[in-house]
Structure 1
Amino acid sequence: MAKKNMKVAVIGHSGMGGQAVVEQLLQRGHAVTGISIDADKVPAQSGLSNVQLDILHTSELTNVLQGHDVVVSVFSGGHAVDLSVYYLQIEGTRSMIKAVRDAEVPYFIYVGGAASLYVKPGLQMFDDPRFPTWYFGVQPPAHLRWLGEITGETFFFEAADRKENGSIAPGASDPFLEECIKDWRKVPLLEGCRIALELFEDKSSFQWSFLSPPWMYRPGPGTGQYELGVDFMIFKNGIPSGIDLPDLALAIVDETENQRLIHKHWTVSGEQNNYGV
């Protein structure tokens, strides 16, 4: 039975994913504590308490988490190709785990990245020989443009234009894009999230679940539906699946209430397969 009227802490609530999760939680009547280093920029809402905090300050985070029923982390170390992102993701995760355990919070849902998902037994996405060129190459124009926005890399916009004007045929490789991303085997956020999973795996001393969004997760209208998977990347028509932001938030809040994936590494996919065209 779904739990109602809970007190939920959302770490990283000032970001895109965090805002969507907070909105869903408030709509369902939960009391939310939003925790971010820039919480002062988040508008006040009924049912939401904004806490400005650097999550690397573990003892302070522990104090804030006291008395919560669930903690949801949508924290991101950043999208820049910079080692500081890797450091923040790993150290931030370590700090959050310790704070959750010390505060004796009953359940911790951590949102990581797609890199830890398996594409076949024993092979994670980040180790797939097709990464990075094929994985970026199959992305549709809308997703490429969104990547351009969050990374600041203009070549994503150019690649989106070539797909839309027919310069690159559907399913064909884009030599220019491949050249631009050929060295992207070092992606600090993806690598940091993959290592983060290892900080959870095989630990049964506290209740957690680790959500890896699909490769093509981006803003969009949502459908109100999603498909669940465990450990393995979900493919649609031979390409990595995707999901719109509202549907990812829906899955997170459903798990917050239902708590059916404890000690699982899980993923989700949008019901509509419109991500590869």
Structure 2
Amino acid sequence: MKIALIGATGYVGAKLLAEAASRGHDVKALVSRPEKVPAQPGVQAARVDVQDRDGLAAQLAGVDAVISAFSGHAQQDVRAYYVRGMQSIVAATKAAGVPRLLVVGGAGSLEVAPGVQLVDTPEFPAQWKGTAEGARDALALLRAERELDWTMLSPAAHLEPGTRTGIFRLGTDSLLADASGNSRISLEDYAVAMIDELERPAHSRTRFTVAY
């Protein structure tokens, strides 16, 4: 499959790139600094500014699916920057005629009790609040979308480097935790779940989550 991966050198994007390439997919890695993309078979790096809708649409033309690992962590106003970026990605994907958009979401919009989302709890770390709120806004944006076949994958509360096991649970809108109350998933297994969804779509026009 021919994939465009936005943010292919980021915290999550790098693992998505490795997983997709290992399965033999053709990946166009769209990043701000192409020189940071590791040289490997089936991977082509290209420079892109996510906020440039027309330039992004030109790069997306001809692919079978777009995976967005875009984030605004380094920006002053993370939430606003992230939302503008997602609006541009959605518009560019439609303009390029790409039928599928898969998006890396956040854990913050997952429910920890009926009507209570993780980002709104007192324990949620302040330094990640802007990112989490931006990801929640992006989910609302996607849910209002009537043309694209989109999917968002939210991770567990703790998403960290670890081991690729291929063994995990999937859920929908509630935060998943293990028997000890820990909510976690490795970056490697998150990437497995995302590329599984790419290859075998099971969550069209909806959000799902993954955790141990």
TM > 0.5 fold call = yes
Check conservation: 1:40, 1:52, Cα contact below 8 A: no
Equivalent residues in 2 for 1:98-109 (5 A)? 98-109=91-102
1:22 deviates by 1.2
Q: Give the SS at the match of 2:77.
A: helix
Number of the residue aligned with 1:198: 140
| Counterpart selection for 2:152 from 184, 205, 210 | 210
Number of the residue aligned with 2:29: 34
244 and 185 in structure 1: CA distance in 2 versus 1, 3 angstrom threshold: closer
Instruction: From the CA coordinates, give the structure whose radius of gyration is larger.
Output: 1
Structure 2 unmatched runs, 5+: none
Within 5 Å, give how 1:90-105 maps onto structure 2: 90-105=83-98
Which secondary structure does the structure 2 equivalent of 1:236 belong to?
Answer: coil
Residue 120 of structure 1, CA deviation: 2.2
Whole-Å separation in 2 of the counterparts to 1:226 and 1:67:
33
Identify the range of structure 1 (14-23 vs 63-72) with the bigger mean alpha-carbon deviation. 14-23
Cα distance, 1:125 vs. partner? Answer: 1.1
**1:55–1:61 CA contact under 8 A, matched in 2:** yes
Higher mean alpha-carbon deviation, 236-245 vs 220-229, is at 236-245
- Residues 51 and 199 (structure 1), Cα distance of their counterparts in 2 relative to 1, 3 Å cut: same
**Among 216, 226, 233, which residue is 2:175 paired with?**
233
Which SS does the other structure have where 1:204 is aligned? Answer: coil
The Cα RMSD (Å) is 1.7
> 1:183-234: CA deviations, max 9, x gaps?
x287211111111111111423210011111111100123221210001111
* Greater alpha carbon shift after TM alignment, 220-229 vs 101-110: 220-229
Check conservation: 1:93, 1:196, Cα contact below 8 A: yes
Q: Tell me, yes or no, if structure 1 residue 224 matches structure 2 residue 153.
A: no
CA offset at residue 90 of structure 1? 0.9
For structure 1, the residue ranges without an aligned partner over 5 or more in a row are: 1-5, 133-180, 271-277
Q: Which structure shows the bigger proportion of residues in strand conformation?
A: 2
Number of residue equivalences: 212
1:9 aligns with 2:37: no
